[in-house]
Structure 1
Amino acid sequence: MVAQKSQGIQTLLEAEKEASKIVEKARSYRTQKLKDAQSEAEKEIAQLKQKNDQEISEFQKKFEGSQSKEQGKLDEGTKKQLDEIKKAFEAKDKQLVQKLLDRVAAVDPKPHPNLVKVE
């Protein structure tokens, strides 16, 4: 009877060892699958990032030229307007100074309308 119990215990121990091997194998399999999934996700992310960077680069190249053209047109228009303002100032500069001098020199000595004579 003791031999049977000993043999039963031995069988249980062997079954437990085998079960722990199976559990360990499953854990390592799961760990490997997680690592594989992570590396695959990193590859996909890198590909998407590269694709997006390429699209952005193409978009910038496409519209960069038009932006510099528009900036050139704006700069040219601004320069023309400044030249016109300078020419108008130079043409009417002397007239303005003369009008200011005439107004300063023209003195009309009369009392202020709000002045009240006090007796």
Structure 2
Amino acid sequence: MAAQQSQGIQTLLESEKEAAKIVQQARQYRVQRLKDARAEATKEIEQFKQAKEQEFKAFEASHAGTTSTAQTAIDKETEVKLQKITDSYVKAKDAVVAKLLDRVVLVHPELHRNLRKVEA
């Protein structure tokens, strides 16, 4: 009977060691899975970050081109308007100067309409 108890205790100890080994392997497996998950998440985050960075650069480039194109169009339009104003100035300059000189130099003295004649 003692041999049987000893054998039963020995079996229990071996089972306990085997269970501890299984628990240890499960813990190692869990730790490894967590490390793998973190590495995979980091990798996905990096890929997402790169994709968004490229998307932003493309957006920036497309809008920067639009801005420079708009600036060029505005510059051309401004140049055309300045040319029209300059042409108008050159055409009307002599006539305006002549009218001003006529008004200043040619004086027609006459009495004001509200002025009454003083009878003596």
Task: Check whether TM > 0.5.
Answer: yes
What is the CA distance between 1:95 and its match in structure 2?
Answer: 3.0
Q: In the alignment, which residue of structure 2 is the partner of 1:69?
A: 80
Establish whether residue 48 from structure 1 lines up as the match of residue 59 from structure 2: yes
Q: In the alignment, which residue of structure 1 is the partner of 2:17?
A: 6
Q: In the alignment, which residue of structure 1 is the partner of 2:8?
A: none
What is the CA distance between 1:83 and its match in structure 2?
Answer: 4.4
* CA–CA separation in structure 2 for the residues paired with 1:61 and 1:89: 40
CA distance 1:10–1:94, change in 2 (3 Å): same
Query: Paired residue for 1:31, among 27, 34, 42?
Result: 42
* CA–CA separation in structure 2 for the residues paired with 1:95 and 1:51: 65
Aligned residue identity for 1:18 = Y
Count of paired positions: 106
Identity across the alignment (%): 11
Aligned residue identity for 2:68 = S
Return the TM-score normalized by structure 1.
0.67
* CA–CA separation in structure 1 for the residues paired with 2:37 and 2:54: 26
* CA–CA separation in structure 1 for the residues paired with 2:57 and 2:44: 20
Aligned residue identity for 1:84 = A
What is the CA distance between 1:87 and its match in structure 2?
Answer: 1.9
What is the CA distance between 1:10 and its match in structure 2?
Answer: 2.0
Query: 5+ residue gaps in structure 2?
Result: 1-11, 112-116
What is the CA distance between 1:6 and its match in structure 2?
Answer: 2.5
Q: Secondary structure at the match of 1:71?
A: helix
What is the CA distance between 1:90 and its match in structure 2?
Answer: 1.0
What is the CA distance between 1:62 and its match in structure 2?
Answer: 4.2
Q: Please report the RMSD computed on the Cα atoms of aligned residues, expressed in angstroms.
A: 2.8
